[in-house]
Chain A
Amino acid sequence: MKYTLSILVENQPGVLSKVSGLFSRRGFNIDSLAVGITEDPAISRITIVVNGDEYIVEQVEKQLNKLIPVIKVKVLQPGMFISCELSLIKVNCQTKQRAEIMKIVELMHAQIVDVATTSLTIQLTDNDEHTQTLISLLKPYGIKEIVRAGTLAIEKGPTTARKQNS
């Protein structure tokens, strides 16, 4: 099962390597990882999607909490959060195919961000499932390159992962 972890850390050099090192050291594979600064520039948020069972997630959570620069770890509950991912997909496209690809892009609420004589680059911001659908629809044309940013997740409603008192 996939678990999404939202981790607040101090924004310092080396913190990402401490966090990711903890996964590799125990042989847990990270499915996706995204990092960025938060509303407080001294604090960054790392969103990690990890595949595993309850024991793995409990261990990961406890071990992450042991790291000094880690401020808060929250395992997001399924159905209780919104997630999305930015993807850039470069696909082969001859002039005569352009209209049909544009149709797919429109149906999937994606955008064309670069056009060339033999290729199109498409940008999509959506969840993993929709991203996979778009990729499979584009596959027959020949995908040249995919760049994915990693999953971002935020809880639904007014709840935040941030400690209220910090």
Chain B
Amino acid sequence: MISGAEIMAECLKNENVQIAFGYPGAAICPFLDYLYRSPIKNVLVREEQNAAHEASGYARASGKPGVCVATSGPGATNLITGIATAYMDSIPLIVITGQVSSELLGRDVFQEADITGACEPFTKHSYLVKSAADLPRIFKEAFHIASTGRPGPVLIDVPVDIQAEEVPEFVYPQKANIIGYKPRTTGHAMQIKKALSAMAEAKRPVLVCGGGVVLAGARDELVAFAQNSGIPVVSTMMGIGVVPMNSPLYLGMIGMHGHKNANRAMHEADLIILCGARVGDRAVSAPEQMGEKATIIHIDIDPAEIGKNVTAHIPIVGDIRLVLRDFIEQSAVSVPKEWIDAVLRYKKEFVPGGEPDNSSGFVEPRSFMRVLSSLMEEDAILTADVGQNQIWAARNFNVKEGRFLTSGGLGTMGYALPAAIGAKLAKPRRQVLCICGDGSFQMAMCELGTLCQNSVNIKIIVMQNDRLGMVKEIQDNKYGSRYAMTLLQGNPDFVKIAEAYGIPAALATSNEEAERLAREMFTSDRAFILVCRVNPDAPTI
């Protein structure tokens, strides 16, 4: 006989799960007991939301679904922001929650919450398990659903009595067979042909690289196609890092906070090839106008993305990696020289914002991001939080062979620190840098405990301006500089906070000092917190 809880741990072992992030409670104890006895590493977080973010950072760095665990009721509801964050950015997560005993469901007993119901809008799928015998099938399906097609979080809610229920044997299914779920991966041959002839005719084509390219593992294909065809590339925030930023035909990030030259190329293009980009409102403010000026080819694995925000002339449903391979094999595109010359000229005209000013007593954030990227290894992973720090990083950090992880869709503050911990645990040999603002850092500061407990060597930059800088900027522009709820009075001494955790830390008040301390930070084999004092009026762009 084998219990439901043991089956759950066995399922994770069968899926080659190496790490699970979570927080305990009575309703998940049977499972945790078997997880503890398994070879899977358990990471105790300090608040459940961060378990989901850490699993998300792990998933994004490793390419495998991240696993997080919480108990019933408040444990489960604390996960919601993390689940929604992963859903918006299409990150594969397996979320396991304990639930009150089956016979008590719906009676509002202690720590009961209808978590499958509450997460309905932000999970790819969810299960409320009714019998231990269903667990192997459910886990197999959950991993399949989370990691195929358009990835996303899958929730498995297991009542505590089901974890205790004993069944005669454990057999893990070889394959998941879900009648209603068969994602299409190969692009339609006819559509590919149409796309290629549109590319051959185009005078001013632009490739838009979205987060879907990262998720499809299609980085090499995208770079190869861009190089072969000579089509200039712009990226969305989620697509940053796919094309090394020093590539000649990479123009930068588009959108509200994007690079002027990238936006200009988009505006002038007569053919826009959207690769795994959902045309979110931050990337394209007027999607309805896009199709008036340019022919649009839209490639996405999720058919529901096509036609949702922008009308595509040539829709291609499929795995971007396979579609781009088809493009590479079949294309003989030559981009007119005038267009290449024009975009290279725009690029040259572009002046990055922010010059170091050593007299001011502040670190200039934009130039410091460029310094940081020059000090780091080529394949370093960068996580950025949400707010000004995110845009400073997205616009100025030069991502080469590495990765850029941020909450692009939901815009969740407090994402960077736990995501960095998850990423470092997935890729222990790679440098991981976490960039926060003083607002977002305080949303996840408790995770310094998790960091210490697991000796996670990540470098944390806190850009401190004692303001919620991005909102302050909106208030300056639109609300007569009335700083409603934006002044972070009562900020602690972050260096002392670090000391309290035993983490080396330092404060920088000039660019020179920041650079010197950053160099020091990267030579250390321990975690480090570098607090940079930033002028409260430092602009985002």
A-to-B contact residues, CB < 8 Å:
9-10, 13-14, 17-18, 21, 25, 58-59, 62-63, 65-72, 166
Contacts and interface: CB of A to CB of B under 8 A. Distances in A.
Contact of B181 (A21, A62, A68): A68
A63 B125 contact: no
Given A13-B128, A63-B304, A70-B180, 14 more contacts: A9-B180, A14-B126, A17-B117, A21-B121, A59-B307, A59-B308, A62-B303, A62-B307, A62-B308, A68-B124, A68-B125, A68-B180, A68-B181, A71-B179
Nearest to B180: A71
A66 B304 contact: yes
Contacts of A68: 124-125, 145, 178, 180-181
Contact of B116 (A14, A65, A71): A14
A49 B121 CA distance: 22
A21 B125 contact: no
Chain B CB count within 10 A is highest, among A10, A21, A25, A62, for A62
30 contacts: A9-B180, A10-B179, A10-B180, A13-B128, A14-B116, A14-B126, A14-B128, A17-B117, A17-B120, A21-B120, A21-B121, A58-B307, A59-B304, A59-B308, A62-B304, A62-B307, A62-B308, A63-B304, A65-B304, A66-B302, A66-B304, A67-B125, A68-B124, A68-B180, A68-B181, A70-B180, A71-B179, A71-B180, A72-B180, A166-B179
Contacts of A9: 180
A69 B128 contact: no
A51 B10 CA distance: 48
Interface string B305-324: 00110000000000000000
Contact of A69 (B117, B180, B304): B180
Contacts of B181: 68
B180 A18 contact: no
B304 A25 contact: no
A84 B116 CA distance: 34
A138 B100 CA distance: 51
Interface string B145-173: 10000000000000000000000000000
Contacts of B126: 14
Interface in B222-244: none
Contacts of B125: 67-68
A14 B157 CA distance: 13
Interface string B119-144: 01100111010000000000000000
A14 B126 CA distance: 10
Nearest to B116: A14
Nearest to A61: B304
Q: 8 closest pairs, A vs B, by CB?
A: A62-B304, A71-B180, A68-B125, A70-B180, A68-B181, A71-B179, A21-B120, A66-B304
A70 B124 CA distance: 13
A25 B121 CA distance: 8
A21 B116 CA distance: 13
Contacts of B179: 10, 71, 166
A14 B119 CA distance: 12
Contacts of A65: 303-304
A27 B45 CA distance: 37
A151 B264 CA distance: 52
A164 to B, nearest CB: 13
Contacts of A66: 302, 304
Nearest to B130: A13
Contacts of A13: 128
Contacts of A25: 121
B281 to A, nearest CB: 16
Contacts of A62: 303-304, 307-308
Chain B CB count within 10 A is highest, among A14, A63, A68, A70, for A68
A13 B125 CA distance: 13
A13 B106 CA distance: 14
A60 to B, nearest CB: 10
A21 to B, nearest CB: 5
Nearest to B302: A66
Contact of A18 (B120, B145, B303): B120
B443 to A, nearest CB: 26
A62 B307 CA distance: 10
A10 B177 CA distance: 13
Contacts of A18: 120
A15 B308 CA distance: 24
A18 B120 CA distance: 7
A63 B120 CA distance: 13
Contacts of B308: 59, 62
A74 to B, nearest CB: 13
A112 to B, nearest CB: 40
Nearest to A58: B307
Contacts of A69: 180
A67 B302 CA distance: 12
Interface string B74-114: 00000000000000000000000000000000000000000
